[in-house]
Amino acid sequence: GFFKIVGGGTVHLPLWKSLTLHTSLNGGILQPLTYGGLCPSSTTSHISDRFFVGGPLQLRGFLPSGIGPRAATGGSSTPGGDALGGDFFYTATMAASIPFPGISFLRDNGVRLMAFGNMGTLTGLGPSLSWESIARSSRAAVGGGLTVGTSFGRLEATYAIPLRYSPRDARRSVQAGLGFTFG
């Protein structure tokens, strides 16, 4: 058995005229449990239960499942090694947006110009997990792009420059994403 929790929050704050600040923080932890010996005493989580981090709506500048622990080797599509997932993650984003300047058709249809910075990490649990190791393993990227809210979700196209990354991370500067909100 295991204990798994995921949480997060987002704040959109209008600052000045049409400038809006957007911040978000998300995280999760997966802890295997033994239930007093009723379950195997494995301290290793199963890959299908782990978190995977990356992608245009989670950690821009990195492919989906682009950061974190990786297998020693991978196929032709994953030269840095296949993603193994992790038991702890966080992502943090700060962005600013304005209505698209100049072209009234885009502005009138809700297209916004944005600049962002994001960071995050994905790692396993263990005795070496500390605030220092979390900070040391964090990845970061900055960039800009276009975003528009639609009736079915947020659509965005971005260009990101990864500033802090591992040589085995799967990075991607140009990305497009579609985010859905339910409820």
Exposure b/e, 146-169, CB count within 10 A at least 16 = b: bbeeeeeeebbebebebeebeebb
Written as six digits, the tokens of 61 are: 């500048």
Q: Which helix (H) or strand (E) holds 106?
A: helix 104-108
Query: What distance in Å separates the CA atoms of residue 163 and residue 100, rounded to the nearest whole number?
Result: 26
Dihedral sign, CA of 85, 26, 113, 166?
Answer: negative
Q: What pLDDT is stored for residue 179 in this prediction?
A: 74
Q: List, for residues 110-120, the tens digit of each pLDDT value.
A: 899 999 999 99
Enter the tokens of residue 71.
């297998």
- Pick among 2.40.160.50, 3.30.43.10, 3.30.470.10, 3.40.30.10: CATH of 2-179: 2.40.160.50
Tokens 């840095």, located at residue: 80
pLDDT tens by residue, 22-71: 999 999 999 877 766 666 666 688 889 999 999 988 999 999 999 999 98
* Full-model pTM: 0.86
Q: How many residues does the chain have?
A: 183
